[in-house]
Structure 1
């Protein structure tokens, strides 16, 4: 389960969490803070799947979210210690990020950009964008957010974030920083008669043109269709009920794998709604908080599960917080396949061009300035032959261009090279050489199409 108001402190020699004054006002230190016996949790058959513990963190760690990177490494938020860990598939643990921010949810965009929901040092809700090396690149503050939690991208740059405190889902443009409410309503909010420690809308995942959202307090899984090119929210429908889920991962065929957190288990939910428990505390999934499928060929059938060792339910008596690998026997959904709702581009025949690279001669600045008027007019008069052209800054944008590229259509390599050798920059010695190579245009926003049929890029 996710945390409400968070600040780290020492508790019985271990790092612990202050959620709010009332949260730890339990009748006795040895009693769990949520009475799970009064919840209408569905009884499920236990059919354990093969599993192994990949990494074990010390008692008192709160492993909150997990994503899998293309190279197979896991990124895991540790909510108490303000840490994002990198864990290899063999269990090697290295620090990815540690600062005064509190990262909670995790997501990775199709271009590899890593983001996290959470809080800044002063408690403001925010989305954090990281460089590949873990350095914090940018913070998008979200004033008024209560507790930012699960995340998923619905298209490149468009992130959905669950606010488990407010019972809403926000849409965040990670390029512009624009934030708006994507969906609100009673189905996302807490159940009025249940323990307030059970979060409202919680985990988010994308599958087959819909967002799947858990509501831990209402014990439901919702499916919310994406509508139109701006991915508006459709009417939520319930696909599972009477099961407390924190996070979820979805297999390629639509099977849901959910972490129950306070029930120390992982549950598989078929498309007909039937549920089976596939792992329990004895497999190492005590306090299971989040799950994600592997992304490489060798681990696409592996479901990685993280947890808090039962810390949230009983902070005085937690077990180790583990990373567990479960053999699900079926592959997860690839990142590209999860975006199948985005339109496939049209198909065009590959356009054949010649690309000419002209290298800037050393010490040619004065010659370049003198020849610039004739050179620019030369390009203008040949625009019908040049698809596009531009400058290459081999020494960085603050330095002068080290080369220029010219993409020519309607000319073969010899003719394209001869044309640029007739340009004022070449004849006046600004260029030391101009060499042409064949080039085929395969895709791009400039042509608005690709050079292959849809079937090539569909997940198989």
Structure 2
């Protein structure tokens, strides 16, 4: 049988880019949180960061909650005394928290802050992404910088406008994938949405994923069991599904502004999504 060129191209694209997900199924929601910004699954617990007030306020009232994977509040203020805790990442027995201008290390077993790593010049440390080898990457959305903690040294790793306001991050085999928030609307300006950016570990040179078509004002970023990406839009609210070629669609459109840094559990195919302004955490099964 002779195959047309167009058929071969279409088949190749289908193999490279997984199919779109089916309609998501809502599993549960839990309230009682205060500006929940980020969530991190860890076995039988979900860690949730609570900003509690202004995202840049050094007021010491932020805290970390513990929620069960089935939506029960386990400990509302498990660790307190933080400022405006946002992104979360874990290496071994240490939970790392992005907190304005420092990276906070929490001893999970003790439930206490063990160390603080200052980020001189940072203004809005946002997401945390931990690699399997122990490296910890932290985005500073306010200065277009990504920091790295390695060997006890916390320093800038990549910086520049090509990062488009780096927010959510995802460690892949040979690169760091970054969700840009772009320039958010302000004072009547509609703002400039952004897209996903790839930063190879070898070159540290940022480049757009696919054609770089604007997706939204991106916040959290995860990859599903099927190999597609999910990203939240903090300004407009949707949950986007994004393929490796940069094409995208809205997967869930019922959220309002404040849809923050989600997490994904591949085993149960569950996305956990903090709704900051609604002060709750929701869970959806995404097939």
**Could you tell me the TM-score, scaled by structure 2's length?**
0.78
Shift of 1:286: 5.5
Equivalent position to 1:220, from 170, 190, 195: 195
Shift of 1:167: 0.6
Q: Which has the higher helix share?
A: 1
Q: Answer whether contact 1:183 1:233 (CA < 8 A) is retained.
A: yes
Secondary structure, aligned partner of 2:136 = strand
Q: Which has the higher strand share?
A: 2
Q: Which whole-Å deviations, capped at 9, do the CAs of 1:195-237 have from their partners, x for residues lacking one?
A: xxxxx1111111232111011115111011122xxxx624433
Match of 1:305 in 2: 273
Gapped regions of structure 1 (runs ≥ 5): 1-44, 120-124, 190-199, 310-319, 330-460
Equivalent position to 1:79, from 48, 51, 56: 51
| Structure-to-structure mapping, 1:382-421, within 5 angstroms | none
Match of 1:251 in 2: 224
Secondary structure, aligned partner of 2:121 = coil
Secondary structure, aligned partner of 1:303 = strand
Shift of 1:86: 0.6
Equivalent position to 2:94, from 113, 137, 142: 113
Secondary structure, aligned partner of 1:102 = coil
Distance 1:179 1:286 in 2: 32
Match of 1:449 in 2: none
Match of 2:113 in 1: 136
Q: Answer whether contact 2:209 2:244 (CA < 8 A) is retained.
A: no
Q: Answer whether contact 2:232 2:261 (CA < 8 A) is retained.
A: yes
Higher relative contact order (CA 8 A, sep 6+): 2
| Structure-to-structure mapping, 1:353-432, within 5 angstroms | none
Distance 2:90 2:127 in 1: 12
Q: Which whole-Å deviations, capped at 9, do the CAs of 1:91-132 have from their partners, x for residues lacking one?
A: 2221221114332211012x242111114xxxxx11111111
| Structure-to-structure mapping, 1:10-89, within 5 angstroms | 48-57=23-32, 61-71=34-44, 73-80=45-52, 81-89=61-69
Match of 2:188 in 1: none
Shift of 1:154: 3.1
Q: Which whole-Å deviations, capped at 9, do the CAs of 1:249-300 have from their partners, x for residues lacking one?
A: 112443100111222221111223332222233xx675210111126x4x2x
Q: Answer whether contact 2:209 2:245 (CA < 8 A) is retained.
A: no
Distance 1:69 1:154 in 2: 15
Match of 2:284 in 1: 326
Distance 2:71 2:79 in 1: 18
Secondary structure, aligned partner of 2:281 = strand
Q: Answer whether contact 1:113 1:131 (CA < 8 A) is retained.
A: yes
Point out the structure with max Rg over C-alpha.
Answer: 1
Equivalent position to 2:148, from 168, 171, 194: 171
Match of 2:57 in 1: none
Match of 2:162 in 1: 187
Distance 2:135 2:82 in 1: 26
The count of corresponding residues between Structure 1 and Structure 2 is 245
